[in-house]
Amino acid sequence: MRFKAHQIAQFLQGTVQGNPDVEVWQVCKIEEGVTGGLSFLANPKYISFIYDTQASIVLVNQDFVAEKPISATLIRVPDAYSAFTKILELYQSQWLQSKKGIEQPCFIANDVKITDGVYIGAFAYIGNNVKIGNNVKIFPHCYIGDNAVIGDNTVLYAGVKVYAHCIIGKNCILHSGCVIGSDGFGFAPQGDGSYKKIPQIGNVSIEDNVEIGANTTIDRATLGSTYIREGVKLDNLIQVAHNVEIGKYTVIAAQTGISGSTKIGKYCMIGGQVGIVGHLKIADRTQIGAQSGISNNIDEPKTAWRGSPAQPYRRQLRTEVLWRKLPEMYQELQELKNEIKKLQS
């Protein structure tokens, strides 16, 4: 679809500087601008590109001051980054809305009700008594087990697996390859050194507005539920073990592992490659730096932690300064020992 500058400005409640009738039909980066492209300038590091970009329209902050002529039409908005995000949301939603109907071949159990606006891609499997909400998009090669629930406007990209009895809320996004409801890692040691599997008969309950990255796995509970609360954002390649609870609006970066029965509070921020042992409690609004190891409860909210084993952020920084000095300190220690030997002799 084509849009004119004045139409975009009206949508974003911005003002046009330049040709109000110039048209765009694609989005692009400012440094890779093309005719018919819509771009934005938010980071000062990219200011130099705005004078040479071939993009037809560029979104800029209201307070942007040009130092030389600009060929592109500008649309001034309060926050260029947020405005461009709205454009991308509109662009993506139009594409998703175009996906409707049921492709073949696929399997859909007889008792599954499909409402208008639902899309089911080829080679999908929908089990018995599955409840699918309005406007759900299920891409090819997805599996949805018996008695699962998929809320309104949720998108399951190609290859997502949702095991039986799991619940996915409204407006969720599950990226390719993620697995919801696989068995928790539960094994009872036996007298002969072997392990006996403990049946995992719970489920996973994901609330509204959650996004889960590609190849992330969330294990079903041994009993009860593994909970992913409202607004949680999980990156790619994250492991969430059985009976974990992640509080609402918490964000977690890639390759983090959370062991069984740990409870993470609300509004937490957890960096990549963090390891959290089982049966812990992490207070609300905790921040954990990348590659940290958490082996104890964090009881005080609004604190920052880093390191393995983790310690308060500022203390860890001081520890790192000393750690870098260890070779020199060791050399000084050896010299002192030699001096003491000389004095003793």
Whether residue 279 is contained in a domain is answered as: yes
Domain boundary among 75, 97, 119: 97
Whether residue 327 is contained in a domain is answered as: no
3-state secondary structure of 96: helix
Looking at the fold, whether 188 and 273 belong to one and the same domain comes out as yes
Looking at the fold, whether 75 and 113 belong to one and the same domain comes out as no
Whether residue 83 is contained in a domain is answered as: yes
Whether residue 155 is contained in a domain is answered as: yes
Whether residue 25 is contained in a domain is answered as: yes
Q: What is the pLDDT, as a whole number, of residue 247?
A: 98
Q: Please list, in sequence order, all residues whose beta carbon lies within 8 angstroms of the beta carbon of residue 23, skipping any fewer than 6 positions away.
A: 2, 3, 4, 5, 36, 56
- Enter the pTM of the model: 0.85
Q: What is the pLDDT, as a whole number, of residue 93?
A: 83
Q: Please list, in sequence order, all residues whose beta carbon lies within 8 angstroms of the beta carbon of residue 321, skipping any fewer than 6 positions away.
A: none
Domain boundary among 97, 117, 148: 97
Whether residue 35 is contained in a domain is answered as: yes
Q: Please list, in sequence order, all residues whose beta carbon lies within 8 angstroms of the beta carbon of residue 328, skipping any fewer than 6 positions away.
A: none
Looking at the fold, whether 215 and 123 belong to one and the same domain comes out as yes
For residue 45, give the DSSP letter. Answer: G
Looking at the fold, whether 186 and 306 belong to one and the same domain comes out as yes
Q: What is the pLDDT, as a whole number, of residue 90?
A: 86
Told to judge if 141 belongs to the known catalytic residues of this protein, a careful annotator would answer: no
Q: For the chain, what is the domain count?
A: 2
Q: What is the pLDDT, as a whole number, of residue 336?
A: 93
Nearest to 52 by CA among 37, 32, 36: 32
Six-digit token pair at 331? 């050399």
Q: Which residue has the tokens 């980066």?
A: 29
Residues in the chain: 345
Q: What is the pLDDT, as a whole number, of residue 320?
A: 84
Looking at the fold, whether 162 and 285 belong to one and the same domain comes out as yes
Looking at the fold, whether 93 and 106 belong to one and the same domain comes out as no
Looking at the fold, whether 76 and 155 belong to one and the same domain comes out as no
Catalytic residue among 141, 165, 242, 279: 242
Domain boundary among 39, 71, 97: 97
Looking at the fold, whether 124 and 93 belong to one and the same domain comes out as no
Whether residue 197 is contained in a domain is answered as: yes
Looking at the fold, whether 266 and 309 belong to one and the same domain comes out as yes
Q: What is the pLDDT, as a whole number, of residue 300?
A: 96
What CATH number has the domain bearing residue 64? 3.40.1390.10
Question: What distance in Å separates the CA atoms of residue 198 and residue 241, rounded to the nearest whole number?
Answer: 14
pLDDT along the chain (345 residues), means of 10: 93 96 95 96 95 96 94 96 93 84 96 91 98 97 98 97 98 98 96 96 98 98 97 98 98 98 98 97 98 96 94 87 89 92 89
Domain ranges, residue 14: 3-97
What CATH number has the domain bearing residue 242? 2.160.10.10
Looking at the fold, whether 93 and 108 belong to one and the same domain comes out as no
Whether residue 243 is contained in a domain is answered as: yes
Looking at the fold, whether 113 and 179 belong to one and the same domain comes out as yes
Looking at the fold, whether 116 and 238 belong to one and the same domain comes out as yes
Nearest to 2 by CA among 57, 82, 51: 57
Six-digit token pair at 306? 């880093």
